[in-house]
Chains A and B, each alone.
Chain A
Amino acid sequence: MKRFRRHGQESQRDRLKQELFAFNKAMEHGFPHQPSALGYSPSLKLLAIGTRSGAIKLYGAPGVEFMGLHDENAAVTQVHFMPHQVELVTLLDDNSLHMWTLRGHNGLSELLEIGRFTLTGPPGAPPSVTRVTAVLAHSSGELLLLGTEGGHVFVVEVPGFRELEERNISLDQIASSVPDDYIGRRNLEHVEALQENPVDPDQVIIGYGRGLMVIWDLEKKLAIQHIPATQQLESVCWTEDGKYILSSHSDGSYCRWMVGGQDTNEEEKSDIPYGHFPCKAISKIVQLPTEEGPPFLLFSGGMPRASYGDRHCITVIHGKKHVALDFTSRIIDFFVIRDGPEHTGEPSALVVLVEEELVVIDLQTEGWPIIQTPYLVPLHSSAITCSHHVSTIPLKLWERIFAAGKHQNAHYSKKPWPVTGGQNLAPDPPQRDLLLTGHEDGTVRFWDASGVCLYPMYKLSTAGVFHTDADPNDNMNQGTEGEWPPFRKVGCFDPYSDDPRLGIQKIHLCKYSGYLTVAGTAGQILMLELNDEAAEQTVEAKVVDLLQGQEGFRWKGHTQLDIQEDPVMFPAGFQPFAVVQCQPPAVVTALTLHSEWKLIAFGTSHGFGLYDYQQKNSVLIKCTLNPSDQLAMEGPLSRVKSIKKSLRQSFRRIRRSRVSLRKQHVNTATKLQEANARLEAELAEMELAPVQRKIEARSSDDSFTGLVRTLYFADTFLSDSSHNTPSLWAGTNGGCVFAYMLRLPSVEHRADEPVTAQLSKEIQLMHRAPVVGIVVLDGHGAPLPEPLEVAHDLARAPDMQGSHHLLVVSEEQFKVFTLPKVSAKMKLKLTAVDGSRVRRVGMAWFGSSRTEDYGESGLLVLTNQGDVHVVSLPHVKMQVHYPCIRREDVSGIASCVFTKHGQGFYLISPSEFERFSLSTRCVVEPRCLVEAPLHSGCSNQHQSQPDGASSTHRAKHDGEDAENAAKHVMEHALLNDEKVLQEIQKSLEGDQMQVSQTHSL
């Protein structure tokens, strides 16, 4: 009977779990990794990007996003929208063609693959005969012309992919009609280009690799004109009036040919724009007319081979204006957006997809400024080193950060984003969320992470506080007067940090007070305050010796950063007012801020400290270093770092040389090669390490036991059960927890009386696993609220009546202790049971999907196996678990950050965040509608009102409730390099077996 009742309770709990938790990989933010193809539909106003991994992504107006993935794991080489339709065709590396469509479903559109096709040649023909090299989506919307490596053009009817054999244009048909004096029986080579006459859809031009171009009439099935270019052909473009053809060639020349009734053997005009010396190929050329004045001529490449052969340029020529846009990485493709309902008006924007970013240039504003992209922003413009998420930002702070960001964006074009296709039907985000990313170059970027678009709000640079290696005159954007070609740097991708010590490792923002603290690689901790005005500040530095007299050690790592002693002018935004520098200058591994007490705590591999930023005074320094730990003294992984550094320096040298010295290319190139070779050797060495693991209990002698992993402030019962006091908690890699009682002077004496700290407790976990999280739970078992949360009436005051509990999360276990007398109460073992280890933890509030007023706090856990778990509080019971990240994806796991509402982000590539959700209530995903364009071309004004009701209920949110409970405590950021590398090595050695996770807890 009893058993039966318990069963009933369990099923009730199971139902509750279903209402609270659901795993959802909602969407991706950022820039697609390794893009390989670009397409644009002027009628839909959607752009499409294909990637090397076979993904196809469509973007329209901000919030309108679609993603599809080809089953084949092959690179997308071409993307073509069917004119005036919602279909698009992709060509993959494996020679397969795929038809995709945007289908309406429940008032929303979704991207679906509706067909696939591979050309089959005659039996016995070599594969080159059917290898597709050029695709033309005919304006009729019914034909697809496929040019192949063998030189044939196949005609295929779509959407059914029916081969129209009788309409094929074989090489023989062409070759027979070519004047003998042109080719002399030479091979015409593959079909390089297929273009339709803009005024006569029956005419297409077929450009062959050897240079010959043939205008073919599809109806009459005969060649109208032969254009006998002699250089290798790169691209062909038909001017809008259909009177001229532009061809670009591999020697850096382009030619203009008159389209006439009879064969003309003379080119009308030929030019090598950057000539005299040999030039690289012009890979694509486009000419667009303007209503009045000269046309726009745009082409990519064509740079002088010897001096600028390594640049990635698109040249834009308009009348007297001539600019060579110098991009940060290889150009994949570009297109021009034109005004007007028929998309035939003035060119308005140039959209360029390069390997690492998307750049849009406003062609109608003087100076051709850049239009800021609302999505597809390169997160990795400098490598991401850590991230920090802050939920539910108060409006005031939001507006101030936004305003500060506006100042920084003054150089962007004022024009709205030109890609406007589709309708964003997602409800307004229920709250304002910020994602902060720390970067290798010492910047912190603030992203609006509330909705579908991860929009850049503000960028903070910390480099100005320090003297760095960077040469202040080393400004890449400065083109010298009269320089030829007239370069202009565009794009923001710049992964080469001048000084790796600037890298940001930890971030903590107080959303109520606007105080921000960031900590970096060289033991620097900056306190910043939001200021709406630019101001000159002298930053006060405080050096903190974490060794505390421990002797016999030598720091072999980097030196500490030099602070600028003179006052520095800081722009509006977050301005530093105090700097703490740890000595030895090891990477900061833990950081926390208490804005109510005006204290920060920070830790490195040597110890931790407490700093009073009101009095700018150090309160406490504690050395946690194990005297026998030699490794911790040597600085983080000097060997690997040095390779990284040398690589970085080689790159920097290259970039410098581009600007100043033009003759040293060979030199730097070989250096780069050497560096690459060294790196490869290093990696090979790693792979060869024997796949063997030592079984050894952790001992106090292990290296880095003193590394501080987590710091936490709590107002709780530390010494006796009747008086709560402020306290600081620190957890180390060696499984040790220190608790300090803090004594704060009264408010009126806060500025002059000292803050004091006294060690109150020290807990050594017997299993000695690294402590990754510490939380104090109040009498109701809820985590204590954030500082100032209660003061702002945004959280229920914690229950101070019942007894508090201490939750210590180690990599292996979750353990609850009573307070003030520390005795173990409950625990949950993870590693001992399934062999996974905790990598990331966070507190989250889960609202029920069924009722508004029910919710629970839970602990979000990510393991080294890539699984996410929810652990209940305060009873530390496993609730649910889902596989989330591949366990081989070490950097993905290391980059994961949880939100307070049960969502999370992790890097799926250096440039993309995947967003997932464990909450049934908080899901952010694109919801959008794209409708087939009316063939008349008028913009889609009147659309059937979609049923938005279904979409709104989902993200409903009770601000108060959500504020209440979630308590985010854990620091999350990339571990230091060594850890990551070790992990990489581990995973390289690790077997490939799939793991079935079982949780018998």
Chain B
Amino acid sequence: MGEFKVHRVRFFDYMPSAIRTMAFNSQTERLAVARADGAVEIFNFNDNFFQEKVIPGQDGRAIEALCWVGHRLFSAGLNGEITEYDLENLRPQYTVDAYGGPIWTISSNSQGTQLAVGCEDGTVKIFAILEERIQFQRNLNRHKGRIISLCWHPSSAQIAAGMTDMITIYDAETGQATRRLLVDRAMGASKNKEVVVWSVGYLSDHTIISGDSAGKVQIWNGLTGTLVRTYLVTKWDVLVLSVSKDESSVIAGTSEGTVIQFQFISSTLDQHDKEWVRTRTFRNHSHDVSALAHTDTAVVSGGMDTQLVVRPLLDKVEKNTQESALRKIAFPHRSLVGCAKKAGLLLFQFPDRLELWKLGESEGHGEQHTHTHTLGEDHICCSALSACGGWLAYSTVSSVRLYRIHVMISVSSSLQVPKLPKELRSVHQLCFSSDSSKLFASSCQSSVIVVAVSQQECRYLHTLKHKTVSTMLYRLHLLCASDDGKWLATANTDCEIHIYNLHKMKLHCMVPVYNSCPTTIAIHPVTNNLISVHADQQIFEFSLVQKEYTQWSRRLQTQGLLSLWLERDTPITHITFNPKNPDHIILHDTYMFCIIDQSLPFPELNAVLWNQMTLKNLPVSQRIGQSHAFKICKIFQHLMCVSLLEDLSLVVVERPLLDIMSQLPAPVRQKKFAT
């Protein structure tokens, strides 16, 4: 296959934000994760944990709690506002100020009719959930001290509220406090430090479970107000609790990074009276676990160390299958790096800024050329760099900006294009045509806005739309234009891929819908075949001219992909092609990049997928017999982008996890020599 010149780039200082809280919707199997920068991510647990939506954050929006009500997602934060999100257009739909100071917690009742929020001023405020908005109903009786945590009883008649030094049970009808459970402070020196009840759970048998800053998980009888059991699980804080749907298991996350499971079982075999027993300890985090979700089969945890960990419970899933594997999601499932292939420029997207870098010509350093700061407090949701390196566009929730870039030897300048067409307002994805004359922007309701960009002006051309049978219009999350400028492919989160003919400006065809979401798509520059890779790691090739899957794709499907390929747990996020050899498709995930050679046979089902080492040790004459279509290279790890420049050199952007770890604050406890 030959040698490649590789630009190994490690200067992308991407730093994911800490996970603050999460909420799992068991009906739709969607997990909502809120990060410290205010971003909300939606993961689809039915589709290989694919991160299908990202709602960008905002300066000053610190989300403290998330809550699903049916398909609607609410959040509340320290800015004192309750926000409902528009999950189609990925932006806050509206915000309501609770007028109670910072909000620490939000919880809905089981019918989904009322929302309770706990405020800094000690009030629990009840909001009625209406169809399009929420409306303040009333306050429960006010207490001194902030409300840190809330939980409704499943019957919606009571609310348990965790405060400092106590738990209060309210009657939701009258608003009166019916019981106060006093929580012991920590022993020893911190005796006069007040204890904060970080999390409460309220079970249908009126058992209350609390986790507090003294490191205790306590089980209370809510009817009598008595303490049943105390488990001292850590020397630091128990930050979060999560109860399983059947109320037989509770997990608690601690500052040490451990997740501890409690189960409602009989402690000895013969007894029928069950009690809460501490059972398992999971240690998958180095820092605080501040967000937990207990799904039917797994413990999902996240925290300061920014990784989302899905730990299947081995008694609930079949052992030694893909289902039972531990999953760590460290990087976003989309590409944050743009690459101008002709100019050798790299665009790095941060939440609050963009960085443009020029790659070095020879052995030496890349040069940083441009910093683009966003104006306003909204974070960037997408960005694009044209292939010639002359144009740069980015978008926030509310606006789009386009820049003209001049790159000199050592100086560069960027010029904002002043007047943009008014159609370009809120977009989800941006893409330049290969000759940089057009900008495509996916807008609301599955439409694509085509804008002509030139030195003189920026002109709205057309809106591409397809007729749809369903009333729901899904957001386009992938855009891809062909090199010859004739085709545009779009993919939405409902797994549909549409092809538009740009010459006729209308829909050309639709690719048969596959049941897993496409993670990336690309159009081959020579054959005009569409390559799509999906969240379940399947690869398809679709001929745009013949409107059917190609022979190669059919052969691949009949033979099947190797299980080692299918069991990878990070999605393919980028595809490029080799302009010199049309048979080569280059794609990458976090841990490897792979060159697929379409002229070579597929590996047999029992063959070794990663056979580079074997091939290396074979004499040249025997290599051909042994080699197969998948050339996998794992030299580079934690890849953010792999792209092929016009001069056939590879650009590899790495972001080692160790570097991310080293930027985290010191963890509370480190184990050393069995001390």
B is a partner of A: no
Interface set of A (CB-CB < 8 Å, partner B): none
Interface set of B (CB-CB < 8 Å, partner A): none
